[in-house]
Structure 1
Amino acid sequence: MIKKIPVSSLKTGMYLHDLNVGWMDHPFVRSQFTITTEAEIAKIVQLGVRELYIDTSRGLDVGDDAPTAAEVKAEIEAQIIKAAEEPLLIRVSAAEEMARARKVHQQAHKVVRSVMNDVRLGQAVQMDQVEEVVEAITESILRNAGALIGLSGIKDKDEYTFLHSVSVCTLLVTFARSMGMDAESVRLAGIGGLLHDTGKMKVPNEILNKPGRFTDEEFAIMKTHPEEGWKIIREIPGMHEVPLDITLHHHERVDGSGYPHKLKGDEISQFAKMAAIVDVYDAITSDRCYHKGMPAPEGLRKLWEWSKFHFDPALVQAFMRTVGIYPVGSLVKLESGRLAVVIDQNEGSLLTPKVKAIFSTKSNAYIPPLEIDLSKPMGKGGADKITGHEDPAKWKIDTGRYLGAPT
């Protein structure tokens, strides 16, 4: 049985099932193993782990008061559903915006590659290109955030470093707008998102693209990238403090377990707290050279769980409202047994998005795509209900095909 325990209850003889810090490139060779020494426990504590999961069928148990993984999941999902009540404002449909969003996404990808290449070569960052692409992203998000967010979920793992920066920019602009920030603050957040990982270009390629876990020494080198990025972009004439702050502090955690400065609580700016949430969400939902990304709804559930210690809970809740409980591009299972791709949010409720049913689990076969507005009653294209999310890889479904994205 999988149980969740505080790190203070961890003992030798227990079987570690999940460190519960999915955003972290931790230095352990394996993610699951039996705890055999006090030194291993000390290293886990040093990483900033506060709660983790053990498998009692493969190691020592803990007291009966420890909740099971299923109980934790049920409690979190109930909290999330309760939080998803306020209406949204949507200007145009995701379908209407998709073609423009695709061009913006391609433009942003090209700009990030150019910026990172300039940094590697020691050349000046072309800020006019950065400003232009942030403006294009902002305009697309103003019309419909779901289109660009949906495209941001489609990544080539070999292009992760570049596409991650595009996604963080997209999500941070969307987040800042949803928080009611003024246009200048949104622009600065976008610049910070696009440039936040610039310092990774100072990390040797053999570490940056290593298809496995880091050694302690490699992990230490990887953790220098926020300061290296800050050093690079502070040399750009007129660079504002907000992008500098985002670049330097997007790996800080509110409990002080982050880096590079181990800031706590209000020592971390709101922009940096928001960037941390966005950075982790995109990292854990993306395929990378050494791990498979989790479905977006699962990523949001983990963010909610981690917000108890590592993130600002109010900001995590606001971010979930920003992208939706079931973000555009998610694969969901309906009460009817059909699988459907979320194609747009509904202004009325985050729990009843617009979907496109594409597959029958009863007949194990694709069906003619059918758009369903889950907010509508029987007889108006609705009358079905989401029962949970699914992993597209499990069903070998390319959700991008149904968003009008490149296959």
Structure 2
Amino acid sequence: MTSEIRSIKKRDVKPGMFVHGYGCGTFHDPFVAVGRFVETYDDIAKYLPEETEQVEILTDKIFEKKIKNDHSVRSAATAAADLAEALPAARRIHEDALDYARKFIDDVRNGKEINIAEAEPIIGQVIESISTNESAAITLAFLKSYDEYTFTHCINVNLYSLLLGKALGLDSDELKDLGLAAMFHDVGKGRISNTLLNKPGKLTDSEFETMKGHSLQGLKVLSNIKGLSEDVLCGVFEHHERYDGKGYPQKIKGDEIHKFARIIAICDVYDALTSVRVYKQAMTPAKSLSLMFKWKGTDFDPEYFNIFIRIMGVYPPGSMVQLEDKRYAIVLETNEAFPLKPKVKILFNHRMQPIISECVDLASCSDDGRELKVLRQPFPASMGIDMKQLSRFLV
């Protein structure tokens, strides 16, 4: 059977495709054979030069991904030990970022110019942190305070966006710009009154229009600052655009929306749903993802959203779960190949009484010959649990 060759744009190359080669076959743009499957977004950068425009793929070749059983290589006990070792450094970075968020938001409220130079090393530290131990960084994102939502939201969206950007194969310069865009995505809210921002009831039409104006206000704040790239400004200005074109302020859609904005849109909603606000209770990560899944392709870039689920997991590190045997545990690490079976540290019995801790990989664990599964994901605050206090069991 003859292979069918199709020419596509480089930007349309996706993991799972078989790249036949690239180039137009001319003297100035010779054809270069590749003959490889693209397994990850990193492979695209590896096999196709940056200046490549057209790529030939073979449409009859299908890549069947072989899932590695990482759980058999890395035990839950090892994951727990690595997490305990990485948490102190991750916590320091988290606190530095939180201090900076408090400062730059206050500066905006007081009409002062933001000091971008102070943000850049913090973004670099976050990138280094997720490269060292993603689980430690994500764990700290769930130890957030209701009273400081405005500040924690900035740094959590920054963290989630960098995780997603890294998974999408962005290079180091792009990650730094993405981090800045994510950190400042809601900077325009600094020009909206706290009374409106924290209103417990439904907004009037007029109030909602004022709130929607924070995208443009953010652009105005940042446009006066030297050294910010156009990509950063687009990420801030467009993060409320929707994939189907029904967002704001420009009602652009699909790939017309800057990739930074498409990334930030997902992370912004995820952190908002999993946070307590003056007008709502927080949702568990599992319920939040379930709700967001319904908006895939309308609100969110479907490809980016699928990758976000993969890197965060249904039960992300730092979240609490109850197992089928009724014991309670904290998630240590996701199992990418088995998203419903994370590595956990069991801490309490069914009455929430402390027991001898046990590190368990649910992907390879059984209880009296039966598979041990997650029963549900409770919301800690509803049980009177302070996650910041609970985190001491991880170190």
Name the TM tier (shorter chain).
0.7 to 0.9
% same residue: 36
Aligned to 2:55: none
Q: Aligned partner of 1:135: which letter?
A: G
Aligned to 2:376: 388
1:103-123 CA-to-partner distances (Å, cap 9, x unmatched) read 111000110111111112222
Q: Is the 8 A contact 1:168 1:279 kept in 2?
A: yes
Change (3 A) 1:405 1:281: farther
Give the SS at the match of 1:372. strand
Q: Is the 8 A contact 2:243 2:297 kept in 1?
A: no
Deviation of residue 359 (structure 1)?
2.6
Aligned to 1:238: 227
Q: Aligned partner of 2:392: which letter?
A: G
Q: Aligned partner of 1:387: which letter?
A: L
Give the SS at the match of 1:282. helix
Select between 162-171 and 344-353 the one with higher mean Cα deviation.
Answer: 344-353
Q: Distance in 1 between the 2:257 and 2:150 partners?
A: 25
1:20-79 CA-to-partner distances (Å, cap 9, x unmatched) read xxxxxxxxxxxxxxxxxxxxxxxxxxxxxxxxxxxxxxxxxxxxxxxxxxxxxxxxxxxx
Q: Is the 8 A contact 2:155 2:183 kept in 1?
A: yes
Q: Are 2:179 and 1:204 aligned?
A: no
TM-score by length of 2: 0.75
Q: Are 2:301 and 1:312 aligned?
A: yes
Deviation of residue 347 (structure 1)?
5.9
Q: Is the 8 A contact 1:155 1:287 kept in 2?
A: no
Q: Are 2:209 and 1:225 aligned?
A: no
Q: Distance in 2 between the 1:369 and 1:405 partners?
A: 9
1:157-176 CA-to-partner distances (Å, cap 9, x unmatched) read 22111110000111111111
1:284-312 CA-to-partner distances (Å, cap 9, x unmatched) read 11011111110111111111111142212
Deviation of residue 331 (structure 1)?
1.6
Q: Are 2:237 and 1:248 aligned?
A: yes
Q: Which of residues 164, 180, 196 in structure 2 aligns to 1:175?
A: 164
Deviation of residue 126 (structure 1)?
1.0
Q: Distance in 1 between the 2:158 and 2:393 partners?
A: 19
Q: Distance in 1 between the 2:173 and 2:69 partners?
A: 25
1:306-331 CA-to-partner distances (Å, cap 9, x unmatched) read 11422122211100111112101222
Q: Which runs of 5+ in 1 are unaligned?
A: 1-82
Q: Aligned partner of 2:148: which letter?
A: E
Change (3 A) 1:209 1:175: same
Deviation of residue 372 (structure 1)?
1.8
Q: Aligned partner of 2:380: which letter?
A: P
Q: Distance in 2 between the 1:403 and 1:353 partners?
A: 17
TM-score by length of 1: 0.73
Aligned to 1:270: 259
Give the SS at the match of 2:181. helix
Q: Distance in 1 between the 2:246 and 2:377 partners?
A: 31
What count of residue pairs does the alignment treat as equivalent? Answer: 321
Q: Distance in 1 between the 2:69 and 2:211 partners?
A: 41
Change (3 A) 1:286 1:88: farther
Deviation of residue 370 (structure 1)?
2.5
Runs of 4+ in 1 over 4 A off after TM superposition: 85-92
Deviation of residue 154 (structure 1)?
2.1
Q: Aligned partner of 1:391: which letter?
A: F
Q: Which of residues 326, 329, 334 in structure 1 aligns to 2:318?
A: 329
Aligned to 1:367: 355
Aligned to 2:90: 101
Deviation of residue 95 (structure 1)?
2.3
1:101-146 CA-to-partner distances (Å, cap 9, x unmatched) read 1111100011011111111222221111100110111111001112
Deviation of residue 336 (structure 1)?
1.3
Aligned to 2:32: none
Deviation of residue 374 (structure 1)?
1.9
